[in-house]
Structure 1
Amino acid sequence: MDRPDSNIPQAPEGYSRPESSPQNFVGPSNQNGGKPRPFEAPTYKQGFVLCVVGGVITGLLSFIGAALVAYGMVIAIYCKKGHGWFGPAITSVLVTGVAAYLLSGPTEAATSVTACALALGVGYTFATEKLTVGVGSLLVGATALALLGYDAFFAAMAGTTLPELAQNVFNQYASQVSGASPEIQEGLSTAKALFMLFWPTSYTGMALLYFVIARFGARTVYKALTRDPQKLPQFQLMDVPFWMCALAVANLFVYALSSTILSAQDILQLITLNVFMALRVVFALQGLAVLTWFVREKHFSPALSLSLFVLAGMLEVQLGVMALVGLIDAWVNFRKLNRSGNQDSEPTINNN
């Protein structure tokens, strides 16, 4: 039959136009001239295997393996329609612990198992669409406290404390350049002061990095499986739950009282400092979300928008301005978001 006269190019032989459903992936037809073969979606077994392989990698390189563990967990839960998480979770945690213990010892095994557990939690909550701002903050906080607890336990077993252990670690590195020039020695003194200032919050920093990497792996595969951008959250609509404001007040109160409890002063101050660090990051992100919303509402030019974000970053690093904006927005609601329902929900594109 002759092809009708139109401006639409004819599809190559062996291919056909995809159907309207976003889940149909059309490939080349088979050799017998049949219908095009759709690409096969991943199976539960493949998700299980990815979790196990990710567990092995987490035992070696915890930051890299976290993404693969979350990736596999999303596939496993997606294939089982919200179920099937127990087997991959237990197996990957055991594999991670064994691999890390055999290669690096008990301290690294505890860290790797914690990273794997966080990745599993991120994968599960992302696949079940429960990864809200509050849930993510709880995952990061629990991970940071677990990392801190492990180090405190091993320090106590060694007959020392965490501050002394951190100072000894720095002194070991500094002793390698003990015969250096006065300029280098002065630089080491400055570096030591900075190290002792920032090391207490390093646990939150590690937990945040684990979370970001695991979330990247989970988001990548979830987007490919659903092929529905409507389900992905919009950053400008990020809204911190109100209970985090109450947590900030309670944490400040505990920090003020920690100096009166001499037996637990060090550990209480470490915990409260890490909570402060996590809250600052969350509220700073909320402040940046407010700025993103403001820039889009006012239709600023790309150059002006970039300048505002650079200025916001500088003010946050030096003065914590964006965290303050986020904290105020949690009370004032600059963006007039609908908080009548569950505030701890992560709005999607459909909420615009």
Structure 2
Amino acid sequence: MQSGGGIVPFGSQNDEKDGRDSVPLPLVLLTCAVGGALASSTMSLAAPILVGYGLSAAHARGGMRLTALGTGISLASALALGLPIGVAQGVGSVIACLAGLIVALVCLRGRLTPGAGCLVVAALFAAHIGADSAFALMNGTTLSQTMAELIEFYRDAFTEASPTSSAQVQTVSAVAGILWPTAYVVVSSGEFLAALAGAHLALRRVKPERSWEGIAGYDLPLWIVVALVVAIAGLAVALTVPTSPQPVLMVSANLAMALRIAFAVQGAAVVAWLLRGRDLGAFARFLVWAAALYLEVQFVVLTVVGVVDVWANFRHLQRGAAPDGTAAQDKKPGQTG
């Protein structure tokens, strides 16, 4: 039976020191420094990749002591180049570097399950939106008010440029006024995936004996489904009860959008599982994925498949309670069964 539930089945507490001489120390420290420097640039998404790579290699080479040194170098580099631009830029650079640190440590301990990945994204989201909210308060306003003014500015600009499209612009503005926090989810997800890519590249070098499970083993834990039910219930209340507070609609809608990303990935995992072992060329696989992406954007097909897969278990993954009392979805493949 196939086992699932892991994103990156690398590392364990028994082999943390394997291959620690694979990456030269100067390259480790240079990667951390360059990653921190890029965190405040227009290539900020490259920062978690380099920091995740550098800190993963640092931990494999010198344990937590070298990891702490690499973290300090990346943060110092980020602050040195970010603070002159602005305090907000400096804080954002630090968060990008911390994304690399968190993902690297979780990967090295072999605990980066899909559920843990969702929690990391949630933590990055809270850090980003919390920092921007704090800066807005320091300027005598709120983040919600700032975003509302920004949306209103663009609405007026587009309406003036194309008066015949004013109705569509009004609709888009109303939706943006509710879903703007989802932009923070997208940024946080991008940082998480970038850090994951960097950690994966390093761990393939320092721990070549470990295999890459890939997206086909992606399996969300059941508590994500509970969160989806809560989001749907909140939307139902907000849309049917006229006196319901506006924050209920905003929180529920943005939670549903964030969970849509997670379940769409689960649907993509089902597609990857179906393609595994098929004698398809690169172009045919490209067409399949292009069709899957189109169906997701137009009809949310991957999201629906992902939600149904939680119950139908199309990939026949090992689920339920493990002997130690934990859920199989929250364990990496090497730990299941």
TM-score range, shorter chain: 0.7 to 0.9
Q: What is residue 34 of structure 1 aligned with on the other side?
A: none
Matches within 5 A, 1:34-113: 41-44=22-25, 46-61=27-42, 62-81=44-63, 84-103=66-85, 105-113=86-94
- The 1:257/1:44 distance shift into structure 2, 3 A limit, reads farther
Q: Quick one: distance in 1 between partners of 2:226 and 2:178?
A: 26
Q: Does 1:157 align with 2:138?
A: yes
Q: Is the 8 A contact 2:92 2:128 kept in 1?
A: yes
Aligned-residue RMSD, C-alpha: 3.5
Q: Give, in whole Å, the separation in 2 of the partners of 1:235 and 1:78.
A: 25
| Pair 1:344-2:330 in alignment | yes
Superposition pairs for residues 161-310 of structure 1, below 5 Å?
Answer: 161-172=142-153, 180=161, 182=163, 192=173, 195-196=176-177, 198-228=179-209, 230-253=210-233, 265-266=246-247, 269-296=249-276, 299=278, 301-302=280-281, 306-310=286-290
Distance in 1 (CA, whole Å) between partners of 2:40 and 2:188 is 16
In 2 relative to 1, CA 195–225 (structure 1 residues): closer, same or farther, beyond 3 Å? same
TM-score, normalization by structure 1: 0.73
Aligned residues: 308
Give, as a single letter, the amino acid of the residue that structure 2 aligns with 1:89: T
Q: Structure 1: 5+ residue runs without aligned partners? A: 1-22, 25-39
Distance 1:41 1:300, change over 3 A: closer
SS of aligned partner of 1:41: coil
Does the 8 A contact of 2:238 with 2:244 survive in 1?
no
Distance in 2 (CA, whole Å) between partners of 1:278 and 1:272 is: 10
Distance 1:90 1:252 in 2: 42
One-letter code aligned to 1:313: L
Relative contact order higher in (CA < 8 Å, ≥ 6 apart) = 2
Residues 58 and 304 of structure 1: CA distance in aligned 2, closer, same or farther (over 3 Å): closer
Equivalent position SS for 2:84: helix
Q: Distance between the aligned counterparts of 1:345 and 1:254, measured in 2?
A: 30
The residue number in structure 1 matching 2:6 is: none
8 Å contact from structure 1 (residues 47, 74) kept in 2: no
Deviation string, structure 1 residues 214-265 (Cα, Å, up to 9, x no partner): 222221222122233x4212321211112211222234445667799x9985
Instruction: Please say if residues 82 and 128 of structure 1, whose CA atoms lie closer than 8 Å, have aligned partners that are also in contact.
Output: no
Residue 330 of structure 2 aligns to a residue whose secondary structure is coil
Cα deviation, residue 193, structure 1: 5.2
Larger Rg, first or second structure (1 or 2): 1
Name 2:105's counterpart in structure 1.
Answer: 124
User: How many Å separate the matches in 1 of 2:180 and 2:108?
Assistant: 34
What is the rounded CA distance, in whole Å, between the counterparts of 1:212 and 1:125 in structure 2? 13
1:31 aligned residue: none
Q: Is the 8 A contact 1:141 1:275 kept in 2?
A: no
Aligned partner of 2:185: which letter? T
8 A Cα contact 1:201 1:270, kept in partner = no
1:73 Cα deviation (Å)?
0.5
Aligned to 1:315: 295
The whole-number CA distance in structure 2 between the counterparts of 1:101 and 1:272 is 35
Pair 1:191–1:265, CA change in 2 (3 A): closer
Per-residue deviation, 1:99? 2.8
Whether the 8 Å contact between 2:237 and 2:244 is mirrored in structure 1 is no
Aligned residues of 2:220 and 2:310 also touching (Cα < 8 A): yes
TM-score when normalising by structure 2: 0.76
Which blocks of at least 5 consecutive residues in structure 2 are unaligned?
Answer: 1-17, 323-327
Among the aligned pairs, what percent are the same residue? 28
Q: 1:142 aligns with which of 123, 131, 148?
A: 123
- 1:124 Cα shift? 1.6
Query: Could you tell me how far apart the structure 1 residues matched to 2:255 and 2:99 are?
Result: 17
SS in structure 2 of the partner of residue 60 of structure 1: coil
Q: 1:203 to 1:164 in 2, by over 3 A?
A: same
Which range is displaced more, 147-156 or 79-88?
79-88
1:195, distance to aligned residue in structure 2 (A): 4.1
